[in-house]
């Protein structure tokens, strides 16, 4: 189960938290201290659900480290993945401010740490501190825009182009490396790009035959970055 590692006794360490540079840069040390006292830091291990769609929104959550997937389950029981994201994208927060319940589920693809602050407190701070608000708007906009953009990029490509795109996405945006361990199953890639898992696998095999990638289970090595980019562009 999720492990709450709240640390009320230790002196506040939010002041030096690297995340502070992000949305919380404009908060005074006092306000940071206030947040620090009430915040909860929660660890989730790989595979754990952080929240489900329909759950009431009580916390403003963001990812401190790890990797998560945002997804929903369709009426016929299939998973549709909205995005896979790293810190410090504020996950799951597109609707935090205008709805009562989460629209999407969130689960950990790798061991992850989430920092949660009561949403009322964030609201208060927005009202009290305009600079903080402006900062937050910026971050929320970027997060939303990334999700929208991912959707458009996927939609305009065919199967091979979509696979090439997500491989480049994981390589470039997530792992910053030509070689990496896929954090998701073939099925989950299928759920992300709205294709069947059989065809995802088939395309992997084709890329392997063409010397574009090497695969060993979930380990992927991109051998021909150039060709992958061409497929992604023209797909």
Partner DNA sequence: CGCGGCTTTGATGTTCATCAAGTAAAGTGG
Partner DNA sequence: CCACTTTACTTGATGAACATCAAAGCCGCG
- The answer to the question of residue 194 lying near a second copy (CB under 8 A) is yes
Going by their DSSP bridges, the two strands 219-222 and 213-216 should be labelled as antiparallel
Cα–Cα distance measured from residue 189 to residue 102, given in angstroms and rounded to the nearest whole number: 23
Put residue 114 in one of left, alpha, beta given phi > 0 → left and psi -120 to 50 → alpha: beta
Residue 198 binding: pick among a second copy, DNA, none (C-beta 5-8 Å cut-off by kind):
DNA
- With tokens 């997530």, the residue in question is 174
Site for a second copy in 86-145 (CB under 8 A): 94-98, 103, 123, 126-131, 133-134, 136-142, 144-145
Burial of 110 (0-12, 13-18, 19+ CB in 10 A): middle
Residue 187 binding: pick among a second copy, DNA, none (C-beta 5-8 Å cut-off by kind):
DNA
Nearest to 62 by CA among 35, 34, 81: 35
Site for DNA in 163-202 (CB under 7 A): 185-187, 194-199, 201-202
The distance from CA 161 to its chain's CA centroid, rounded to whole angstroms, is 22
Q: What would the two tokens of residue 175 be? A: 């792992």
Choices 18-26, 36-44, 93-101, 157-165; region in contact with DNA by CB under 7 A:
157-165
Looking at beta carbons only, is 115 or 150 nearer to a second copy? 150
Q: What would the two tokens of residue 229 be? A: 């980019």
Angstrom CA distances, 77 to 80, 138, 186, 191, 193, stand at 10, 35, 18, 12, 17
Looking at beta carbons only, is 102 or 170 nearer to a second copy? 102
- The answer to the question of residue 30 lying near a second copy (CB under 8 A) is no
Shortest distance in whole angstroms from residue 11 CB to a second copy? 29
Residue 204 binding: pick among DNA, a second copy, none (C-beta 5-8 Å cut-off by kind):
DNA
Residue 158 binding: pick among DNA, a second copy, none (C-beta 5-8 Å cut-off by kind):
DNA
Give the other-Cβ count within 10 Å of 218's Cβ: 12
Give the other-Cβ count within 10 Å of 19's Cβ: 16
Exactly one of 151, 198, 211, 221 binds a second copy (CB under 8 A); that residue is 151
Residues of this chain that interact with a second copy (CB under 8 A) are 72, 74-76, 78, 80, 82, 94-98, 103, 123, 126-131, 133-134, 136-142, 144-145, 147-149, 151-152, 154-156, 194, 233-234
């Amino acid at each position: 189960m999720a492990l709450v590692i709240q640390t009320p006794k230790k002196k506040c360490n939010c002041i030096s938290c690297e995340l502070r540079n992000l949305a919380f840069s404009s908060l005074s040390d006092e306000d940071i201290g206030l947040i620090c006292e009430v915040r909860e830091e929660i660890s989730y291990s790989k595979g754990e659900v952080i929240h489900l769609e329909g759950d009431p929104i009580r916390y403003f959550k963001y990812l401190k480290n790890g990797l998560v997937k945002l997804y929903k389950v369709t009426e016929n029981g299939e998973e549709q993945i909205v995005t896979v994201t790293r810190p410090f994208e504020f996950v799951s927060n597109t609707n935090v401010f205008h709805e009562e319940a989460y629209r999407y589920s969130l689960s950990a693809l790798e061991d992850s740490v989430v920092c949660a602050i009561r949403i009322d407190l964030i609201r208060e701070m927005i009202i009290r501190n305009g600079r903080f608000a402006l900062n937050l708007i910026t971050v929320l906009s970027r997060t939303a825009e990334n999700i929208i953009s991912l959707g458009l990029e996927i939609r305009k490509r065919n199967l091979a182009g979509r696979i090439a795109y997500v491989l480049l996405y994981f390589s470039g945006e997530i792992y910053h490396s030509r070689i990496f361990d896929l954090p998701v199953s073939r099925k989950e890639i299928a759920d992300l790009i709205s294709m069947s898992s059989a065809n995802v696998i088939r395309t992997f095999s084709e890329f392997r035959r063409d010397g574009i990638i090497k695969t060993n289970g979930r380990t992927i090595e991109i051998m021909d970055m150039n060709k992958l980019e061409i497929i992604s562009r023209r797909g």
